[in-house]
Structure 1
Amino acid sequence: MTDGLRIAFVGNALPRRCGIATFTCDLELAMRHLPEVAQTAIIAMCDPGGQYAFPPQVRWSVAQDDRGGYLAAADFINTQGYDVVCLQHEFGIYGGGAGEYILDLIAAVDAPLVTTLHTVLDQPNDGQRRVIEAIIAASARVVVMARKGRRILIDQYGADPAKILVIPHGIPEVPLVLPQYAKEKLGFAHHRIILTFGLISPNKGIETMIEAMLVVLAMVPDALYVVMGATHPALLRADGEAYRESLRAKVTTLGLDGHVVFIDRFVERPELLDHIAMCDVYVTPYLVESQMTSGTLAYSHGLGRPVVSTPYWHAAELLEDGSGLLVPFADPDRLGLAVADLLTDDEARLAMGRKAYVASRAMTWANTASRYGEAFQTVRRPVALTLPPVDLSHLAVMCDDTGLFQHAVFAVPDRHHGYCIDDNARALLLCCTLGATAASRPLIEKLRPRFAAFLQHGWNPDNGRFRNFLGYDRRWLEETGSEDSHGRTLWALGRCARYREGGVMAPWASALFASALHAVAGFTSPRAWAFTLLGLADYCLAHPRDHAAMHIRLDLGERLHQQLLACETGEWVWFEDRLTYDNARLCEALIITGKAVGRDDWTQAGLRALRWLIELQTAPAGYFRPVGSHGFLLVSRAAPMPFDQQPIEACATVAACIAAMSVDASRSWLAEAHKAFAWFTGANDLGLSLIDPLDGSCRDGLHPDRANENRGAESLLAYLLALADMEQANPAHRPIQPEPDILTSSPIQNLLS
C-alpha cells in the first residue's frame, strides 16, 4: 500500500468572504477526514487590502497582485513535498491580466495539478482563453461541476475528454427537516419564507424577485422575501453600498416594505443552515445563462428546499429531474406565479423538497471528497515500489516432463485437468522475457525447451491450427483449439523468434510462427488479433523484410482499430459491447502496433480506450479494481461486476500502461502500472496479498470475501509476467536485447522498399 496523500489546495480561504473561500475550506475539511489522506494545507490568496486571521490549515498566503509571491508559494509546496496540488480557479482571484500570475505558480510546482474550474466561459476574450488553455495543458485532471462545462472545454478549448471530470458541488450532510422549527428560532414563525442568499451583486437578479413579490402577495399575503448576504467585496470597493440601496429604494417604491427583509452580513455555516432550513421556497433568479456553478443553489437543493430558478447552466442540469422549477430570465410575473403556486400547495412543495433531498445525497461533502480523492490517487506520482524477487519455485512444481499443468488444488498440481497450450505459451513467453537477467537462469534454460516442445506438439499441420487441451494421458482433446489460444501461441513464438539467448530455438520459433500466421486472416476474435499483433511486434523486429507478416500486421491493426470505432460512444470507449478477460491487451496491441508502423491514429485510439478502462478499473479509494469474471455474461454495455477478480487483468493492465509510457507523456502511466501490480501484493478490495513469499505462487483470484487459495498456472504466470514487465520498466534494468542490426528503417519503409 502507498503512503497517505499529502494535498496542497490553492485558492481563497475563510474568513475571506466569497464562495471560492467557502468551497476551498469545505473541500479541504472533507478531504482531511478521508482515511487515505495524511495531510492537507491551503495556500490562500489575499485580495488588495485584505488581511485575514486565517485558520491553522492555511499554511501560506499570497497577495493577489504580488507576482513574486506566486513563485514563493510554489517553492513552499515543493519544499514540503506535497503529492498533489488542487487549484481552485475563478477569474478575479489571481493577479495579472485575466489572472495570469497563477501560471507562474503552476509552472513552478513539481507535484501533479488537479484544477477545479468554477467558471467556464463559452466566449472568452483572448487573455482568458490563453490562461484557461495553459491551465488545461498543465493539469493532469480538470474538474467541472456541470456537464455543460465539460462540453464547452472539449468543444471550445480542445481539451482532452479523458482529463475532464464532472464532480458536483459538495453539500453539507444534514437531516431533512420541516421549516417551522427554524422559523420559530429565527423569529419568522408567522410567514411563508422565500429566500435568496449569497454575496449580493447585480447579476443575481434580486430585482426580478422583488418585482415578483407583487404577484406572490396577491395569492399569499403572509409571504416574506429574505435577501441574506453581504455585498460582494469587489462591488463594495468600487461602488460602496449603492446597489443595495437601489434595491431598498425599489422595495419602497413598490410598496413592499415589511415584505422584503435584507440581512446584510456574511453568515457562518451554522447560521446559514438555519436560514436555509426555515425557507419554504429558495429562489435563484440569475440574469444570465452562463452561470456554471452556484454554491447557494447546491446547498439549498441539498437541504431539501424546493427551488425556483431561472435556467442558467447549473440550475438547468440540477433541476432537470423535476426537483425544482425553472422560469424564464427576467420575467417577474412567471417567477411570482411559480413561487406562489408552491407556497399554496403544501403537498407539491413538500414532495419537491423530498425529491431534491434524495437526489442530492451523492453530492454530500463526504462523497464529493471521495471523488476528488480518486482523482488525486490517479495522478499521484508513484511512491517507490520495492518489487518482490523473481521466484520460480512454484513454476517448477507445476511442471512435469510434458509441460505445465493447468490447475492446482491449493499449491498441489491437479493432474485431472491436464495441460493447455495457452499456459505453456505463456510460460515460454515468460522464459524469453526473463532471459539472462533472471537469477533462476538454470531453471529457465531447463524449462524453455519443454514449453517449446509442447507448442510444437500442439501444432496440427493438417489444418494449420494449434490444438489447445491435452489430457494427462497425453491425448489431445481436440483437433483445433480456440482462436485466442492460437493467437497467444503466436505471441510466444514471436517473442522466442527475437530471443537471441535461445540459440537454435529462435529459428525454430520463426519457422513455426510463419507457418501458423496465415490462419489468423480468417479469425474474428479481437483478442486473437491482439495476441497475434503482440507476437508480430517481436517477430517483425527479428524479420523486418517478411512482407507477408507485415501485410497481416497492418490488416489486423486496422481491424482492431475499426472494431473500436464501430463500438465506441461518448460513454463507452471499448472494442466490444462488454468487458470480459485480458481486456487491456487490446489497448496494448493497438498502441504498440500504431507506434511501430507509424499509425498515430491507432496509437491514440489505444490510449483512448486504455484511459477509459483505467478509469473504470479504479476504485473510489484509488486502488486497482479489475473487471470481475461474474460480469462476463452481462447484457450489452452494462457496468462491470467487481468480483471475481482475476490476476490476468492486473497483468494485462501493467503491460498496457508500460506500452503507453513510450508514446504518451500526458499522464503518469508508470504510476498506473504500479497501481495494477500492487493489486497482487495487497492494494485491492480485501487488502490481501495474493502472493506467497515462500514459493512465489499466486492465488487464483479474489472472491467478495476471500482469496481463492488454488494456485494454478494462469494466475502464477500472470503474476510472474507482470513482475517481469515491472522490472523491464525500471530505467536501470537492461532491455531484453538490442534491436537487430539489420533494422535501419521503419517496418513500413521496409515493406515498400
Structure 2
Amino acid sequence: MNAENSNILGSHYPKNVAFVGDYLPRQCGIATFTADLYQSYHQFFPDANPIVVSVNDTPKGYAYPDEVRYEFYQHRQESYGKAAEFLNTKNVEVVCLQHEYGIFGGPAGNYILTLLQNLRAPVVTTFHTILENPDQDQLEVLRSIAGLSARVVCMTEKGKGFLTTIYGIPEEKIDLIPHGVPDMPFVDPHFYKDHFGMEGKQMLLTFGLLSPNKGIENVIRALPRIVAQFPNVVYTVLGATHPNLVREQGEVYRESLQQLAVECGVAEHVQFTNRFVELPDLLEYLGATDIYVTPYLNPAQITSGTLSYAFGCGKAVVSTPYWHAEELLSDGRGILVPFGDSEAIADSIIHLLEDETLRHTMRKKGYMMGRDMIWERVIGRYGDTFSQAHQRSSRRQVLQKPETTDWFNLPAVRTDHLFRLSDDTGIIQHARFHLPCNEEGYCTDDNARALVLTLMLEASGLADRKLSALTDTYAAFLNYAYSPEYRRFRNFMGYDRRWLEEVGSEDSTGRAIWALGACIGRSRDQNLITWAMGMFENVLPHVADMTSPRTWAFVLLGISEYRKKFSNDRLIKTIHQQLLEKLMLLFNATATDDWPWFEESLTYDNAKLPHALLLSDDQAMIEAGLRSLRWLMDLQTAETGHFQPIGCNGFYVKGQPRAYYDQQPVEAHSTISACLAAYELTGDGDWYRQALSVYTWFMGQNDLSLPLYDSQTGGCRDGLHIDRVNRNQGAESTLSYLLSLTELHIAQRQLAGTPQLSSNIV
C-alpha cells in the first residue's frame, strides 16, 4: 500500500463485513464483482474479517472457496430468512448487498426483502441494474431495498439521477462509487501478444458471457472492410456462453456467430475462446489488446464491468452508446457508434488502426481516469460508506420518527377514493388496484364503517357538501340490510342487489349498531336520528345473546356514541353494563402477568377489546383496559420503534409463534382509535404520541418501508405482505385509513384547545 492510500484506508472501518450476492465459481458478472469486492477488502484491510453469503441458482450450489460461509437457494424464500438468521449470529457490523433483479427469487427478485427485513446489522446496497422504465414490481422492490438500506451505492451519474428522480431515493443517501478495476501497468500491447501467438497482429477484443444482446454479429459484419485494409487483424471473442442460454438453447448462438464469420469470409480472423476466464488470464488478454469493442444492442445498461476493466487498463475503446459507455467514454476517452451499425464500427476501428497517435492518446486518457477506479481506491470509498452505515443503524435511519416540528402536520382528509368505490347502493367492498370490483358486491361491515366516517367528518366540519349524499346512501344500505325476522343484519349483497344470506355475522350486526349509535350521537339531521333510534332500540336487546367479544366491543362503541346525546337512557345503560361485565369476565378468566388479554389468541381488530373497557365508568375496568392496551402496544412495536401489527396469516396463539404478515390496515385503525380513547381518558400525552406513531405505518414507517396510503388515488392498499404491499385498494383498508386520519384530526383540534396538554405532548 502506498503512502497516499495508507492515510485513506484507516483502522476506523468496520472489520466484520458480510458480502451478499452470487459468487465465483458461478459464471456471472455480479459473482466476479462480489469476489473482487471481498478480495479487495481482505487485501487492503489486513485486520478485517469479511465473509461471503452467496445466493445459488441451482439447489446443489457450487464448490465455493473458504470465504463463502453460507449459501442459500434463489427460489426458496424460507432460505432467505435462514441466511439472515445466520448473519445475526455472527458479529457482523455491516452487510454489503449486491443487487441485480435476476439473481434473487420472487417477482422482480423480491425474496431478498425477506433477508433484509430480518437483519440486525445495517445494510449497504450496490445497485447493478437501475431501470429507466421499471414495471410496478421492479419499482417497489428497488424502493423497498433502498428503504431497508442505510446507504446505497451506484456506479454512474446517470444511475444516481435515476435513483433520485424515478425511485425517490434521497440524494444524501446515495454514494457514487465507480466500478473497480485491476491495477495494471500501462504497457505496449506487443508485450503480451506472444502469449497468444499474436506477434505482428492487431487484436480486437470483446469479453464477457456470450449472449445475443452483446451485438457481436455487428463486429463480425464489420470485419471484411477492416481486414481488407489491415489483413493482420484478429477479433477475439473471449468468454463462455451464458449458462442460462446454454440450458435453454445450448450453443446455438455461438454456432450462429461462427457460421456468420464463414459467410463473411473472415473465419480465420475471428477467434472464439469458449471459457470463463480467471483474472490473471484476463489481464493478459487485455494487455495484448489494441482495441476493445462493446457493440451492445440496448442503451439500458447502467454499468458494464467489462467496459470498466478495458477502460481502466488503458485500452482504446469503440462502443455503442449505452448509458455507461456514454458517460465513461466522453471527452475523447473512446469512440461511440450507433447501435447495430456495422459500417460505423468498421469506420471507427479503421480510423484508430490508421492513427496510432490518436489511439495511444485515447488509451492514456482512459488509463489516467482509470487510476481513480483501481480497487485500492474504490475499496477505500466503500470503507467510508460502510463506516457511515455502521454509525447509524439502517432501520433507525429509515424508520425514525418525524421531527417534532413535523409531528402534527397531518395531511388533509381526501374522499376521492371513497366516492370512487361508492355508487347509489353503497360502497363496493373490494377493488382491483384502485378500480372497484363490482362483481364482488357490497357488505354491511364496510357500509357501517363508511357511515361512521361520513358522520365524523360532517360533525367535525371536515366534510364538504357532497358527503351528505353518501351518508344517506350508507344509511339506506343498513336500512335494507336489517332483517326484522332475526333482529339482525344481513352482511353480503351481490352487485345485483340480492342478499347472499338470510343473516350475517355477529360482527356485522355489531358494526351496524356502532354506525346507528354514531347517527344518533353525531348527526344534526333529525330524520336520520329518528330512523336510527328506532332501529337501534329494535336490535340492541338481542345483543346479549351474541357470543363474539368483538361484537360486544362494536356495540359498546355504538352505545358510547348514543350516550353523547342521551346519557340517562336506563335501557341503554343496562345493556352497556351487561356487555362490559361480559368483557371483564373474559379478561379475568384469561389474563395472566405475561398475557393480560381477553382470549388465548390475538386475531383481528384486537385493540377494540381494551378500547371497549375504556368506555366504562368503573375504575377496575378502565385499569384492565389500559393494562391490556399497553401490553398490546408493546407487543406490536418493533425493536426499531415502528408499528408491527399481528399478521392475519396465522394470528398469534398463546405459546405459539406469532404471525408477522399479512399486516392489515384495520389493525392500525383500531389501535389508533384505542390510543386516542386512552389519551382522552387519562390526559397522558404518550397515548397521543403512540396514536401518531401508528398512523405513520400507513405512510411507510413499517417493516418494508413502503407506504400503504396511495397519494395518487387517495386510497389505502390492502395490506403488508412479507415481501410487498397488496396493491388493491378496497373499502376496509381505505376506510381504516380515513377513519384513522379523521380521528387524529379531531384529536388534534381538541389538543389545540388545551394548551396545558399540548406542551406535555411536544
1:746 CA displacement: 6.3
Match of residue 190, structure 1, among 184, 200, 205: 200
| 2:345 matched residue in structure 1 | 335
Report SS of the residue matched to 2:366.
Answer: helix
The runs of at least 4 aligned residues of structure 1 exceeding 2 Å deviation read 1-5, 33-38, 48-51, 741-747
Match of residue 228, structure 1, among 223, 238, 247: 238
Change (3 A) 1:39 1:666: farther
Q: Aligned AA for 1:356?
A: G
Distance 2:114 2:336 in 1: 41
Distance 1:108 1:65 in 2: 18
Q: 1:296-335 counterparts in 2 under 5 A?
A: 296-335=306-345
* Cα deviation 1:151-197 (Å, max 9, x = unaligned): 11111111111111111100001111111121111111131110000
Report SS of the residue matched to 1:320.
Answer: coil
Change (3 A) 1:40 1:285: same
Distance 2:392 2:289 in 1: 48
Distance 1:35 1:223 in 2: 43
Match of residue 350, structure 1, among 356, 360, 375: 360
Match of residue 48, structure 1, among 54, 58, 61: 58
The normalised TM-score by structure 1 is: 0.51
Q: Aligned AA for 1:31?
A: Y
Change (3 A) 1:373 1:172: same
Distance 2:46 2:270 in 1: 47
| 2:758 matched residue in structure 1 | 745
1:381 CA displacement: 3.9
RMSD (Å), alpha carbons: 2.4
Distance 1:339 1:2 in 2: 48
Matched, 1:171 2:181: yes
Q: 1:638-649 counterparts in 2 under 5 A?
A: none
1:745 CA displacement: 3.2
Change (3 A) 1:154 1:94: same
1:742 CA displacement: 7.3
Q: 1:24-39 counterparts in 2 under 5 A?
A: 24-35=34-45, 38-39=48-49
Contact 2:150/2:392 (CA < 8 Å) preserved in 1?
A: no
Distance 2:95 2:272 in 1: 39
Match of residue 81, structure 1, among 86, 91, 109: 91
Contact 1:83/1:381 (CA < 8 Å) preserved in 2?
A: no
Q: 1:623-642 counterparts in 2 under 5 A?
A: none
Match of residue 226, structure 2, among 216, 223, 230: 216
Distance 2:758 2:59 in 1: 64
The normalised TM-score by structure 2 is: 0.50
Distance 2:67 2:265 in 1: 48
Match of residue 118, structure 1, among 103, 106, 128: 128
* Cα deviation 1:97-152 (Å, max 9, x = unaligned): 21111110010111111100101011112221121111111111111111111111
| 2:474 matched residue in structure 1 | none
Report SS of the residue matched to 1:82.
Answer: coil
Report SS of the residue matched to 2:237.
Answer: strand
Matched, 1:61 2:71: yes
Distance 2:150 2:55 in 1: 22
1:257 CA displacement: 1.2
The aligned length equals 396
Matched, 1:90 2:100: yes
| 1:708 matched residue in structure 2 | none
Change (3 A) 1:16 1:292: same
Distance 1:135 1:48 in 2: 24
Distance 1:248 1:318 in 2: 31
Q: Aligned AA for 1:271?
A: D
Change (3 A) 1:208 1:37: farther
Q: Aligned AA for 1:83?
A: E
Q: 1:577-596 counterparts in 2 under 5 A?
A: none
Q: Aligned AA for 1:745?
A: S
Greater C-alpha Rg: 2
Change (3 A) 1:89 1:213: same
Distance 2:249 2:22 in 1: 23
Distance 2:370 2:21 in 1: 25
Contact 1:5/1:37 (CA < 8 Å) preserved in 2?
A: yes
Distance 1:225 1:12 in 2: 30
1:35 CA displacement: 3.7
Matched, 1:241 2:254: no
Distance 2:13 2:239 in 1: 42
Q: Aligned AA for 1:291?
A: Q
Contact 1:140/1:666 (CA < 8 Å) preserved in 2?
A: no
Contact 1:310/1:327 (CA < 8 Å) preserved in 2?
A: yes
Contact 1:220/1:344 (CA < 8 Å) preserved in 2?
A: no
| 1:257 matched residue in structure 2 | 267
Distance 2:272 2:43 in 1: 36
Contact 2:96/2:123 (CA < 8 Å) preserved in 1?
A: yes
Contact 1:311/1:327 (CA < 8 Å) preserved in 2?
A: yes
Q: Aligned AA for 1:256?
A: V
1:218 CA displacement: 2.4
| 1:535 matched residue in structure 2 | none
1:286 CA displacement: 0.6
Q: 1:305-704 counterparts in 2 under 5 A?
A: 305-381=315-391
1:51 CA displacement: 3.1
| 2:735 matched residue in structure 1 | none
Q: Aligned AA for 1:230?
A: A
Matched, 1:286 2:299: no
Distance 2:323 2:12 in 1: 39
Which runs of 5 or more residues in structure 2 are unaligned? 1-10, 394-695, 702-753
Q: Aligned AA for 1:193?
A: M
1:237 CA displacement: 1.1
Distance 2:168 2:368 in 1: 35
Distance 1:379 1:19 in 2: 26
Q: Aligned AA for 2:115?
A: L
Distance 1:333 1:12 in 2: 38
Report SS of the residue matched to 1:299.
Answer: helix
| 2:116 matched residue in structure 1 | 106
